[in-house]
Amino acid sequence: MGSDMTEQAIASARAGQADAPQGSARLYTLALLVDDRQGAVDRVVNVLRRRRANMRTLVVGPSEEAGVARVTVVVDDAEVGVEHLSEQLRKIVDVRQVLLFPAGRAIERELALVKVNCTAANRSEIIELGQHFGAQAVDLAPETLTLQVTGKGEQVEQLLERLQPYGIRELARSGCLAIARDE
Amino acid sequence: MTTTATVTQESGDARRASAHATDEARELAGSHILCEALVREGVELLYGYPGGAIMPFYDALPAYPRLHHVLVRHEQAAAHAADGYARATGKVGVCVATSGPGATNLVTGLATAYMDSTPVVAITGQVGRPFIGRDAFQETDVLGLTLPITKHNFLVRHVEELADVVHEAFQLARSGRPGPVLVDVPKDVQFAKTVYRPAASVRSIELYRATRVPQPAPEAIQQAARLIAQARRPVIMSGHGIILSNAYAELRALAEKTNIPVITTLLGLSAFPVDHPLFLGMPGMHGPAFVNRAIGVTDLIIGVGLRFDDRVTGKVSEFAPQAQIIHIDIDPSELNKVKPAVVPILADAKAALAALVEAVEPGNHQGWLSELRQWEAEEQERARRLSRPVPYPTPTDILDAIYEVTDGEATVVSDVGQHQMWTARFYKWTRPNSHITSGGLGTMGFALPAAMGVKMGRPEATVWVVAGDGGFQMNIQELATLRDEGVEIKVAIMNNGYLGMVRQWQEFFHQRNYSETPISSPDYVKLAEAYGLTGMRVERREDVQAAVQQAMQTPGTVIIDFAIEAEANVYPMVPPGAAITDMIIERE
Ligand SMILES: Cc1ncc(C[n+]2csc(CCOP(=O)(O)OP(=O)(O)O)c2C)c(N)n1
Ligand SMILES: [Mg+2]
């Protein structure tokens, strides 16, 4: 998403936002509670696109309340931009609540399924490596092995980096989910 | 435009169906429920155009004589007319179209209403539910198309929710920051029957969310009052929000109590009388130089109901470099969007201004004011030096004549281009909400259909259109509608034979390469005649006043084709992207 935006366009978009210093983009996680009605998610995505938010991940799923979906989106932008974005999102009639978590302020988790090449010789080595990251082997085949890992985005990244030498055949990542930390 | 129903014995059905008749629950088709709901919303006027997917609604319509339907000649005009009606009355304007091309024709009008925050409800027919998503004949994803240009939109899923959806649409359109709302009604939903309970309430959560209008925070008001007391060169900048919230008296009271001069944006014009000693003018791209100069040195901007649009601010980083900003707006997403506000006040303009008037101490800024008037006088003196005697009508001749002949009572609807800027700058706006124009989207073709809505919403008003020869030809077909409806508006075409505003940009920024900007016109006198209306052509300056007078005395819609100078420019001009204090002024 937003990949069609040139660097220049991003820079000028930011320049148009009050007080957003250039090159200061950071990651933010937004959790939205939206009425599970037709078009509700479209509207959210549309506002994100329209307001030039650079979406890293987007997750839609149920919430604790029937008929209310939870949309979790990770965007990068400078602070004022994100606050403006949340206000724009709050204006959507289907949106009940917008929670804005600056990076690291919430409990953030991601799930990944990684299919790696393996041989009889290195299979247990890979499983062990996975265990080190809390990953489970969820499928074993003669030439491949599928690991399931959950954790913070960085943890997932680290495991992937370590698996790279074996050859990653396929990768499915859920995108980030977030929930507020109780004090 | 009669709204009294004459229900005969034969049309007993109609009487039963009419909302005045009964509040009893009864079985009705969706098409009738739609009409019932519109009647309950107090709708009296609809602008629309029939077609396959909306036919059941049109079949029911004659049973509701309270709903006066105006058959426009193009759906775009239906949306603009509903918008004009809404701007003039503050009530929700309604337009109707069929699926596919009917709905896509509404798009420009809805986008125009969205940008200028006006309450419009659009009802579109949609193909039957079984056909949706199958590329059926005249099927368009209207919800998807209008998503970014409506405040909200609905696809009605079943007839049981239809009435609720319509009421919710009206509520949303007029609440908070107003805007257009679209209701897409599949054809089979219009046919389907259900028990209609007129008194049933609308879903409460949505209503609550839509109507929450925050009260101005007392601490913010106190803080604003302190800044106002300290400011040495303050200005008030007011926008469309004053008109939308009917805050004329409060604005005036604040200005007078604090002795602070008032700048109004394009859409804020007519919210503050231009002959008031505290009125300054319009800011930005085509504002007078002294107004932009004032913004350049002001130390406090009290911004009310405006969004600091780029045509107002010019280069944002150089806008009002010395100013602190108090920003009052009903839409939280406008606060800090363009310029950070020291005191953001989330509230309706009327409430916030009333609270501010209470909180502030009387002020005196005579020194600052006389400095400003000095700059203004120099600018006017320069303009006088530059003015040459010309044989043809000038924009100011035309605008002054309209003002004088109508005793300042006219509502003036302008189109988009040079004539729009001249109208904004040189008409004497003395009556609240007498200036109507497409500001945010700048939609050529807006004025004629919008003026129809204005006049039908304010039948007692004198309505003048000021249009260019380009834009007038964009919705010229509505002359037929005006004629059919017997709606009387007066039209002044400032005919320069060019898409003037674009030509001006070509002159300034494209080395006079007048690519595709010369434009021809029909003979407007004959054209008016062909439509059964009256047309005149004025080529000499001395004939302007008499022509305007004659137009006022001639019943029905009258078009005056004023041959103005071909290559006149709007001065001053801030080049796009430049600081507003860097203006192009007329060469001596
Ligand atoms: C629908 C639409 N198309 C194009 C434009 C771009 N545009 C802005 S002003 C203008 C020229 C308008 O010409 P005219 O109506 O003759 O008015 P003038 O500027 O000559 O007074 C044009 C083409 C627009 N604003 N709207
Ligand atoms: Mg022209």
pLDDT above 70: residue B308: yes
Mean pLDDT (chain B, rounded): 93
Class of domain A107-180: alpha beta
B506 lines ligand 1 (CB under 6 A): no
**A16 in contact with B, Cβ within 8 Å:** yes
Q: For residue B157, with 0-12 CB atoms within 10 Å meaning exposed, 13-18 middle and 19 or more buried, which class applies?
A: middle
**Topology (CATH) of B218-375:** Rossmann fold (3.40.50)
Indicate the residue of A50, A84, A91 with minimum beta-carbon distance to B337: A84
Task: Give the pairing type, strands B534-538 and A106-117.
Answer: unpaired
Domain map of chain B by residue range?
2-211, 218-375, 391-563
**B316 in contact with A, Cβ within 8 Å:** yes
pLDDT above 60: residue B563: yes
**Topology (CATH) of B2-211:** Rossmann fold (3.40.50)
The Å distance, Cα B512 to ligand 1 centre, comes to 17
* Chain B CA closest to residue A47: B148
Ligand 1 site-directed mutation target among B444, B472, B510, most atoms within 8 Å of CB: B444
DSSP code, position B559: E
pLDDT, tens digit, for every residue of B162-208? 999 999 999 999 988 999 999 999 999 999 999 998 766 555 445 55
Kindly state the helix (H) or strand (E) to which residue A80 belongs, with its residue range: helix A79-90
Q: How high is the ipTM of this complex?
A: 0.80
CA angle at residue A68 from A65 to A70, to 5 degrees? 100
State mean pLDDT over B348-372: 97
Six-digit token string for B234: 């303050």
Interaxial angle between packed helices B544-553 and B395-405, expressed in degrees from 0 to 180 and rounded to the nearest 10:
40
pLDDT above 90: residue B1: no
* Chain A CA closest to residue B153: A39
Report which of B106, B102, B70 is spatially closest to residue B181, judged by C-alpha positions: B106
Yes or no: is domain A2-103 CATH 3.30.70.260? yes
- Asked which of B3-12, B78-87, B179-188, B300-309 is least confident by mean pLDDT, the reply is B3-12
State mean pLDDT over B104-110: 98
Under 8 Å between Cβ of B363 and B259:
yes
Under 8 Å between Cβ of A55 and A73:
yes
E-only strand ranges, chain A: 26-35, 54-62, 68-77, 95-102, 106-117, 136-140, 144-151, 168-173, 177-180
Min Cα separation B326/chain A (Å)? 15
B418 lines ligand 1 (CB under 6 A): yes
Output the pLDDT for position A76: 82
Ligand 1 site-directed mutation target among B501, B519, B520, B567, most atoms within 8 Å of CB: B501
State mean pLDDT over B409-434: 97
* Chain A CA closest to residue B309: A16
pLDDT above 80: residue B334: yes
Q: Is B76 a catalytic residue?
A: no
Alpha helices in B286-436 (DSSP H): 289-297, 310-313, 349-359, 366-386, 395-405, 418-426
Contact residues, A window 46-105, toward B, CB-based 8 Å cutoff: 46, 50, 80, 83-84, 87-88, 90-93, 96
Residue A59 forms beta bridges with which residues? A72
* Percent above pLDDT 90 for chain B: 88
Superfamily of domain B391-563: Thiamin diphosphate (ThDP)-binding fold, Pyr/PP domains (3.40.50.970)
Do the chains contact at A91 and B147, CB–CB below 8 Å?
Answer: no
Please state the separation of Cα A121 from the chain's center in Å.
35
Contacts of B210 in chain A (CB under 8 A): 93
DSSP assignment of B127-163 equals: --GGGTTTT-TT---HHHHHGGGSSEEEE--SGGGHH
Output the pLDDT for position B13: 41
Q: Do domains B2-211 and B391-563 have the same CATH topology?
A: yes
Contacts of B143 in chain A (CB under 8 A): 38-39, 42
Residue written as token pair 């709903």: B67
Residue type, B100: G
Min Cα separation A87/chain B (Å)? 5
* Percent above pLDDT 70 for chain B: 94
Give the residue with greater pLDDT, B25 vs B177.
B177
Output the pLDDT for position A25: 65
Give the residue with greater pLDDT, B30 vs A78.
B30
Q: Do domains A2-103 and A107-180 have the same CATH topology?
A: yes
- Asked which of A47-61, B63-77, B280-294, B448-462 is least confident by mean pLDDT, the reply is A47-61
Indicate the residue of B147, B206, B337 with minimum beta-carbon distance to A46: B147
CA angle at residue B171 from B165 to B174, to 5 degrees? 140
Report which of B247, B49, B82 is spatially closest to residue B173, judged by C-alpha positions: B82
E-only strand ranges, B257-299: 262-264, 279-281
Under 8 Å between Cβ of B462 and B411:
yes
Active-site option among B151, B187, B350, B490:
B187
Under 8 Å between Cβ of B237 and B263:
yes
DSSP code, position B210: H
Q: What does the pLDDT profile of chain A (183 residues) look like in tens digits?
A: 333 333 333 333 333 344 444 555 688 899 999 999 888 999 999 998 888 888 889 999 999 999 999 999 998 876 558 888 999 999 998 999 999 987 678 999 999 999 999 999 999 999 999 999 999 999 999 999 999 999 998 999 999 999 999 999 999 999 999 999 887
State the sign of the Cα–Cα–Cα–Cα dihedral B478, B480, B482, B484. negative
B125 lines ligand 1 (CB under 6 A): no
Q: For residue B300, with 0-12 CB atoms within 10 Å meaning exposed, 13-18 middle and 19 or more buried, which class applies?
A: buried
Residue A164 CB partners (closer than 8 Å, separation 6+)? none
Spatial distance between the Cα atoms of A120 and A99, rounded to a whole number of angstroms: 48
Domain map of chain A by residue range?
2-103, 107-180
DSSP code, position B99: T
CA distances to A48, A51, A84 from A88, rounded to whole Å, are: 9, 8, 6
Question: Is the bond preceding B572 in cis, omega lying within 30 degrees of 0?
Answer: yes
**A17 in contact with B, Cβ within 8 Å:** yes
